[in-house]
Amino acid sequence: MAAHQRLRGRDLVDFSDYTTEDVHALLKLALVLKEAQKTKFPHAILGGQTLALIFDKASTRTRISFEVGMAQLGGHALFVPGETSQMGRGEPIEDTARVLSRYVDGIMIRTFEHATVQRLAEFASVPVVNGLTDDHHPCQVLADVLTLLEHTGRLQGLTVAYVGDGNNMAHSWLQLAPKLGIHIRIAAPAGYLPNADIVEQAKRDAIRNHSQVLVTTDPQRAVENADVIYTDVWASMGAEAEAEHRKRIFSEYQVNSALVRWANPNYLFMHCLPAHRGEEVTAEIIDGEHSIIFDQAENRLHAQKAVLCALMADAGAFGEE
């Protein structure tokens, strides 16, 4: 059985229950699917299958890459805006999970509380994929490591410095990087540091995979000799009301020409997007020669297709029954 076939029927709520081998299997499959798409090689692996896309928050990349991905895989994606469904009127997520499982073959959800996705996954009989919660963004970080693999040819031993809010992106990096032997450093202001339990688990994973985890309030310390500088918005979806207050708190955490001077001279700049030029990053850096933001955005498509195939494809769909 191919490594990715062990993932059939599983969920991707976050990366806490994925092994190093599971993640490498997804990356390998993503590269195969990317090649198939580029060479127009037919890969209707999910022919006849439907994926529901529940959105309680805005999206450009996630919605479009999942819809296009399902089309390329020969399946169908169904956009379900949370606020116009009965979920928006308080129908329990447990009932929604059981109802949708009677119609569709998989569910992607973008929502606020991580516990909502955990409950959806518990009660749905079809795979559930997290398209972003307040605490995690696993599809984004999977696309990010795929992008790094393509740009650098390796993952083990790379140093990624994440500068900014200790938010969903920071948590997903803390979960995934140590499993792949990537050194992960997070620099965030006091009061905005990542969740302590996630940091502790990351440190345990790092010991097993010979990598290091550093959480600091000093952006320069995080960026010193780093191979990758990553940032994200200072006010995530749901925290818009704090935006002005956060601009003051985070001003020392802007990725600009003064900060990147401390990095490896060949550093790569990454951002999950959407970005606010002049806030978390200057235009000079995000639009400069080290930036690989649009490769990241493209790889959402390929990484998520790998996730959907691994979780949803019928036995034998890959021709290796």
Residues with a catalytic annotation lie at: 110, 137, 140, 232, 272, 300
For the chain, the residue count is 321
**Using CB distances below 5 to 8 A depending on partner kind, what does residue 236 bind out of ligand NVA, ligand CP, none?**
ligand NVA
For position 172 contacting ligand NVA by CB under 6 A, the verdict is no
Which residues 267-286 are close enough to bind ligand CP by CB under 6 A? 272-273
Q: What is the pattern of x (binds ligand NVA, CB under 6 A) and - over residues 90-129?
A: ----------------------------------------
For position 279 contacting ligand NVA by CB under 6 A, the verdict is no
Which residues 48-67 are close enough to bind ligand NVA by CB under 6 A? none
For position 303 contacting ligand NVA by CB under 6 A, the verdict is no
CA 194 – CA 171 distance, rounded (Å): 6
Smallest distance from ligand NVA to CB 60, Å: 9
CA 220 – CA 260 distance, rounded (Å): 9
For position 305 contacting ligand CP by CB under 6 A, the verdict is no
Give the number of residues in contact with ligand CP, rule: CB under 6 A: 8
Contact (Cβ atoms closer than 8 angstroms) between residue 108 and residue 131: yes
**32 or 160: CB nearest ligand CP:** 160
Q: Where are the beta strands (DSSP E) in 145-286?
A: 159-163, 183-187, 213-216, 228-231, 268-271
Smallest distance from ligand CP to CB 207, Å: 30
**Using CB distances below 5 to 8 A depending on partner kind, what does residue 60 bind out of ligand CP, ligand NVA, none?**
ligand CP
**45 or 301: CB nearest ligand CP:** 301
Owner of token pair 């999970």: 97
**Using CB distances below 5 to 8 A depending on partner kind, what does residue 49 bind out of ligand CP, ligand NVA, none?**
none
Binding test (CB under 6 A) with ligand CP, winner from 37, 59, 209, 216: 59
- What lies within 8 Å, CB to CB, of 125 at 6+ separation is 98, 101
**60 or 225: CB nearest ligand CP:** 60
**21 or 240: CB nearest ligand CP:** 240
For position 236 contacting ligand NVA by CB under 6 A, the verdict is yes
For position 140 contacting ligand CP by CB under 6 A, the verdict is yes
**103 or 294: CB nearest ligand NVA:** 294
Partnered with residue 160 across adjacent β-strands are 184, 228
For position 169 contacting ligand NVA by CB under 6 A, the verdict is yes
Binding test (CB under 6 A) with ligand NVA, winner from 111, 168, 172, 254: 168
Binding test (CB under 6 A) with ligand NVA, winner from 93, 148, 272, 311: 272
- Residue numbers of the site for ligand CP (CB under 6 A)? 59-62, 132, 140, 272-273
